[in-house]
Amino acid sequence: MRALITGMAGFAGSHLADYLLQKTDWQVAGCTLPGLDCSHLDPRATCLEVDLRDRAAVRSLLDQQAPEVIFHLAAQAYVPVSWNDPWDTLENNIRAQTNILDALVQLGARPRVLVIGSNEEYGLVQASDLPLREDTPLRPNSPYAVSKIAQDYLGLQYFLSHQLPCVRVRPFNHIGPRQSDKFVASAFARQIAQIEAGQQEPVIRVGKLDSQRDFSDVRDMVRAYHLVTTLGQPGEVYNIGSGQPRAVRALLDTLLSFSRLQIRVELDPQLMRPSDTPIAYCDNSKVRAATGWAPTIPFEQTLQDVLNYWRNQVI
């Protein structure tokens, strides 16, 4: 089986490549933006430089690689960036996926395509909505959320219009080693590691800590991606998450408990989002029923691994 991972050099993409190479006999290739570092990837994975916003380059890539499975992970994934430059996020996320799906139709190819949406699609969540089901109304409250809805529904449209076997997922927050320090768990862990190494004063600067999110380990998440792609129903959409809300404050307290140092916590107004959802967590019964997936890595183990990753990075 020939698999193509877009965004393979990224956080989830690199973990997915690791998983497929360890657990399957598939040939794994992936694309990254030109100039990105691929040295952290397993050398058995073929790394190709392609700008997915280039329609001709995408068609050439798919024609040459002829993948039987595509995991489309490439995207601008940081919500605050979408506030600063909304069009860049919309263009990046929507154009890239449109080019992929359109090229497949033009080539007459019919690989399984995993379309990665986001829990952010649900947006402004009402208490009556919880836990979030796949049929919960979408109320996007960021440009990023709008871009992911567009990707989600492009997958549905190409399934309905062209019978392209797209399976859609809405992953909730996933954390783990290698994640950018733009994201909350890595941001806290990096600061703790720098404090322990004497590179920073013993103060962690934080945004809102009361928000509750559905956190999963990225290694559990990519296992779900593989299962949904192989066992999920084309045209359907699946929530992927632990189904359990955890406050950001609890995440920080857990990380702090792994350090012997006394570290002060200070609020930084610059880390506050223009719009934020107080609580969001999913009903994951649909993906469980379809694939048998369930998260297996404890929350505390994930955070310990994140902190150890950053301890190694700051040395």
pLDDT tens for residues 2-42? 999 999 999 999 999 999 999 999 999 999 998 888 888 99
pLDDT tens for residues 110-158? 999 999 999 999 999 999 999 999 999 999 999 999 999 999 999 999 9
CB contact set of 43 (below 8 Å; sequence gap of 6+) = none
Q: Region 225-229: what's the mean pLDDT? A: 98
What are 164's two structure tokens?
């392209």
pLDDT tens for residues 159-184? 999 999 999 999 999 999 999 999 99
The predicted pLDDT at position 161 comes to 98
Sign of the alpha-carbon dihedral angle for 144, 148, 151, 153: negative
CA 21 to chain centroid: 19
Helix (H, G, I), strand (E, B) or coil at 137: coil
Helices of type H across the chain: 11-23, 55-65, 79-84, 86-107, 143-162, 184-196, 218-231, 248-257, 285-291, 299-314
The answer to whether 17 and 8 have CB atoms below 8 angstroms apart is yes
Helix (H, G, I), strand (E, B) or coil at 87: helix
Q: Whole-angstrom Cα distance, residue 153 to residue 68?
A: 22
- Its pTM stands at 0.95
To the nearest 10°, report the CA torsion of 223, 47, 164, 96.
110
* Residue % of the chain over a pLDDT of 70: 98
What are 183's two structure tokens?
């994201």
The predicted pLDDT at position 274 comes to 64
What value, to the nearest 5°, has the Cα angle with vertex 212 and ends 245 and 16? 65
Q: Whole-angstrom Cα distance, residue 88 to residue 94?
A: 10
